Amino acid sequence: MDIFHDNAMLAGVRQMLGAFAKQYIRPVAMKHDREESMPWALMKQAQAFGMTQTAVVDGRKALTGKDDEEGANKPKSQSRLGVVGSEELAYGCAGVCLAIGGSGLAASPVARMGTEEQKQEFRRLLKGDDEHGHIKVAAMALSEPSTGSDISSLSTTARPDGDYFVINGHKQWITNGQSAAAYVVWAQTDPSAGRAGVRGFLVARGTPGLIPGRKEHKLGIRASETAQVHFEDCRVHKDMMLGIGASSEGLGDTKKMLDSTRPMVGAQAVGIARAAFDYLVERVQGGTIHGTALKQHQHVAFELAEMEMEIQAARALVHKSAWMADHGQDNVRMASIAKAYGAKVAQDVTARALTLLGEEALEPDHPVEKWYRDAKIYDIFEGTGQIQRRIIARSILGVNAT
Amino acid sequence: MDFALDDDQALIVQTVRRFVDKDLRAWAGDADRAAEAPGKLATVAGDLGFYLDAVPEAAGGLLDGAYAHVTRALRGLELGRGCSAMAALLECNVEPALAVARWGSDAAKAELFASLAAGGLATTGRDSRGALTLTADGDGVRVTGKIGPLPALGRASHVLLCATLDGAPVALLIATAGQRVAAQAPSAWRAAAWGTLTLEHALVPASHVVARGADPVALIGAWYRSSLAARAAGVAVAAMEHARHYASERVQFGQPIGRFESLIGLRDDALTAATAARLMALHAAWLCDRATDGASIAAAADAASRARVVAGDAVRQATVDAVQIYGGYGFVNDYPVEKLMRDARPYEQLFGDERFDRVLADPDRAGGI
Ligand SMILES: Cc1cc2nc3c(=O)[nH]c(=O)nc-3n(C[C@H](O)[C@H](O)[C@H](O)COP(=O)(O)OP(=O)(O)OC[C@H]3O[C@@H](n4cnc5c(N)ncnc54)[C@H](O)[C@@H]3O)c2cc1C
């Protein structure tokens, strides 16, 4: 089991993205938080560094320049790579990390269930720049105003009509929802079939009836756009339905999509915690209280020790869950553990850091205060903390407790 | 011992609650976005007796007789339910007014009370890490360094500063006129007219050295902390009021989410903590009302510090959990709880780290670092 060290490829990615985070993300993070704006220039730069919006569809070669190892060594997924990269980018700024990587959420079902034609279409839609000169991004639209945790009661419908499906419904809190060039939208194709009737559709921006809606003002991750998306008699060709043929498990497809991204989400939370931790260490190294060095006080030093324990534990869980995915092992329980624990640690470490920093962290634009706000989302999106515990508990006890 | 409110207290609670429910809550969102309290706050709250409640009647204020910290704590519990930023503005004059009335020179009284009576604000700060440089200059004090960020300092005419001069606590009244004040809008209590004051060898004349010695400074701290604790408890209560209401309407998995045991547990723990914080804040205020000599002041200071630890923890967890209960809607500012989560922080961060302070002050530690 190699979860305890980065192999050369992972170490390289960690180093490169860590440097990118420090050099390029950090300097602009506060501005995008304040202005609640997408970091388009930086996203273009990231693309030039190889962080393409279609990376998840394109596979490892696009990310590392190397082909997948073949035979027994061939990984079943790119989760280890994903967690290393996610942690480093979120170390720079979680909002920017999501702006750069948010398309991956839409890319993941296309990569797993898409036909070659659909993958081509996804690449085509994300090629080049838009009319503002921005790179193109994708959105994954599952949640609805009245359906977040309980995705089995989706109310968006896709009614078959000849060669087309006609989509109607409202989607809520969609990352890249306003700006996306490509949307993967989940809808009920056959209400009588229940969960089995749910399908994902690849829909191009500009398709009549696809109406990007209002952008949200948020507590944190403000560099990442969150918006409503409306579908009003939006006609989509049946060839753009994901999981054509026998490979769809209906609603189960969305669960697989979320399972596969959970380690990455946990890793982002670890990145935030580490950012706050490093900031604090630096501050404690040089800081004083009434003339004595902060670092000589157990009150401070042990608090740092506590944070480090939490961060190390969270990172180990994240890597274990990713390693399991890469080795084709069922990681559902572990991915939920890693995601939920990462979220807890990110919230806890940033809160402790604010308390230790005290009044100085009341300054406007204080990075730790921003990380505290950013951390909260990790307990909400991609399955809330309660939903992760529900999954973990069900895997232990075999029933859903209420 | 009696936990019941007297008639006056009950009336004040009722009046403030009505003001909170009708006005403060309605104004809170816009004030937060604009980073400014509405102009009508001063008139409406002024009519209710805020701002001048601690200024002696003889000096143009409303205080006739002894100040009642218990009543202030009761009112703070209500204000916290409304808006932390505006509550801070409504409470900021109290410590400077009480301290100057009790220990200040005639010159300091005349200057501060005239300013407050004319609608001015004052605020209170503490050099909790010993970052300021204070040096004696005759009977006056010279101060160098940055004070704040403090609520109200962006607009205040005076700061009551608790600091240390040659190892001994002092309370100074610093006039901001002509000094370097920078207005700020951090993400917490955004409408609270935050500011910093940067002083370069600034002279605080002898007349404005309000008090010297441990007791007065400890008492000022006890007033400030018990008020913070009361408001924090109010915010925690408000967070769960919102969350409970939301959870009763939001349905997932075929039932209102408020019926899931894990969410009931979050709410229940928050209310346990808020209840403890409320009682501790009221007890600390009760001790403030009885603090006359060294021992009773120490008791008030200790109780206020402990109240703030509990209230700070309570408000942090309650607001985080309220956002959690709202799910995705908790994270966006159409709903009130994301503001509450931002607003929770200063209750813990202002005026120093209670836990650390008490560790440093523990008698058993003497001879340590
Ligand atoms: C910034 C942001 C970005 C997002 N990006 C996307 C995106 O790109 N695409 C997308 O499709 N969605 C996205 N979402 C939506 C997100 O996934 C949902 O908000 C999330 O799944 C929670 O759903 P909800 O908000 O409806 O909360 P609800 O499901 O209403 O939950 C409310 C509360 O009830 C609890 N709860 C629910 N069920 C149970 C239970 N059985 N037991 C115990 N407690 C329970 C929850 O844990 C939560 O505390 C995003 C959300 C945000 C805020």
Please give the residue of chain A at the shortest CA–CA distance from B252: A150
Q: Looking at residue A53, what is its pLDDT? A: 86
Cα B167 to middle of ligand 1, angstroms: 53
Q: Looking at residue B365, what is its pLDDT? A: 84
Q: Looking at residue A3, what is its pLDDT? A: 76
Cα A105 to middle of ligand 1, angstroms: 16
Give the C-alpha separation, B317 to B273, whole Å. Answer: 9
Q: Looking at residue A68, what is its pLDDT? A: 53
pLDDT tens-place string over residues B286-311 = 999 999 999 999 999 999 999 999 99
Contact A149 B327 (CB under 8 A): yes
Contact B184 A364 (CB under 8 A): yes
Q: Looking at residue A11, what is its pLDDT? A: 94
User: DSSP secondary-structure letter at B51?
Assistant: S
Fold of B122-212: Butyryl-CoA Dehydrogenase, subunit A; domain 2 (2.40.110)
Per-residue burial over B293-316, b = 16 or more CB atoms within 10 Å of its CB, e = otherwise: eeeebbbbbbbbbbbbbbbbbbbb
pLDDT tens-place string over residues A284-297 = 999 999 899 999 99
For atom 16 of ligand 1, the residue with the nearest CA is: A381
Contact call for residues B202 and B174 (beta carbons, < 8 A): yes
Residue A88, both tokens? 């480093």
Residue A304, both tokens? 């740092």
Residues of chain A with CATH 1.20.140.10: 251-397
Ligand 1 atom with minimal separation from the B331 CA: 53
Q: Looking at residue B253, what is its pLDDT? A: 97
Q: Looking at residue A64, what is its pLDDT? A: 55
Residues of chain A with CATH 2.40.110.10: 138-240
Contact A363 B184 (CB under 8 A): yes
Q: Which CATH architecture has domain B214-367?
A: Up-down Bundle (1.20)
Residues of A in contact with B320 (CB under 8 A): 347, 351, 376
Contact B185 A373 (CB under 8 A): no
Pocket probe mutation, ligand 1, options A381, A389, A391, A394, max atoms within 8 Å of Cβ:
A381
Q: Which CATH superfamily is domain B7-103 in?
A: Acyl-CoA dehydrogenase/oxidase, N-terminal domain (1.10.540.10)
pLDDT tens-place string over residues B160-209 = 999 999 999 999 999 999 999 999 999 999 999 999 999 999 999 999 99
Residues lower than pLDDT 70 in chain A = 1, 60-74, 245-246
Place of tokens 């040089």: A286
What are the CA-CA distances from residue B366 to residues A17, A288, A393, B215, B360 (Å)?
A: 48, 18, 49, 20, 9
Q: Looking at residue B20, what is its pLDDT? A: 98
User: Is residue B125 predicted with pLDDT exceeding 60?
Assistant: yes
Q: Looking at residue A6, what is its pLDDT? A: 84
The rounded mean pLDDT for chain B is 97
Give catalytic residue positions of A: 382
Q: Looking at residue A346, what is its pLDDT? A: 98
Q: Looking at residue A372, what is its pLDDT? A: 98
Residues A337/A339/A341/A342 CA torsion (nearest 10 deg): 150
Q: Looking at residue A70, what is its pLDDT? A: 61
DSSP bridge pairs for A204: A182
Smallest CA-to-CA distance from A183 within A147, A228, A222, A151 is with A228
Give the C-alpha separation, B117 to B114, whole Å. Answer: 5
- Of the two residues B16 and B365, the one the predictor is more confident about is B16
CATH code for the structural domain at A251-397: 1.20.140.10
Give the C-alpha separation, B89 to A132, whole Å. Answer: 44
Span B42-63, average pLDDT: 97
One-letter amino acid at B361 equals A
Number of Cβ atoms within 10 Å of the Cβ of B153: 28
Give the C-alpha separation, B369 to B354, whole Å. Answer: 18
Q: Which CATH class is domain A138-240?
A: mainly beta
One-letter amino acid at B205 equals P
Contact B349 A379 (CB under 8 A): no
Span B112-133, average pLDDT: 97
Q: Looking at residue A305, what is its pLDDT? A: 98
Rounded percentage of chain B residues whose pLDDT exceeds 70:
99
Q: Is A67 helix (H, G, I), strand (E, B) or coil?
A: coil
Pocket probe mutation, ligand 1, options A384, A386, A387, A402, max atoms within 8 Å of Cβ:
A384
Residues of B in contact with A354 (CB under 8 A): 345, 348-349
DSSP bridge pairs for A188: A157, A198
Give the C-alpha separation, A347 to A343, whole Å. Answer: 6
Smallest CA-to-CA distance from A294 within A349, A345, A358, A351 is with A358
What are the CA-CA distances from residue B23 to residues A319, B38, B176, B232, B320 (Å)?
A: 51, 11, 31, 19, 25
Give the C-alpha separation, B259 to B236, whole Å. Answer: 20
Place of tokens 């009760």: B286
Contact call for residues A220 and A376 (beta carbons, < 8 A): yes
Q: Looking at residue B108, what is its pLDDT? A: 98
One-letter amino acid at A9 equals M
| Whether the domain at B7-103 and the domain at B122-212 fall into the same CATH topology | no
Q: Looking at residue A56, what is its pLDDT? A: 82
**What is the least distance, in Å, from the CA of B94 to any CA of chain A?**
21
In angstroms, the first-to-last Cα distance of chain B is 42
Q: Is A200 helix (H, G, I), strand (E, B) or coil?
A: strand
Contacts of A25 (CB under 8 A, 6+ apart): A39, A42, A89, A92, A93, A96, A97
Residues of B in contact with A347 (CB under 8 A): 320
Q: Looking at residue A69, what is its pLDDT? A: 58
Q: Please state the domain extents for chain B.
A: 7-103, 122-212, 214-367
Cα B35 to middle of ligand 1, angstroms: 29
| Exposed/middle/buried for residue A364 (C-beta within 10 Å: 0-12, 13-18, 19+) | middle
Q: Which CATH superfamily is domain A8-125 in?
A: Acyl-CoA dehydrogenase/oxidase, N-terminal domain (1.10.540.10)
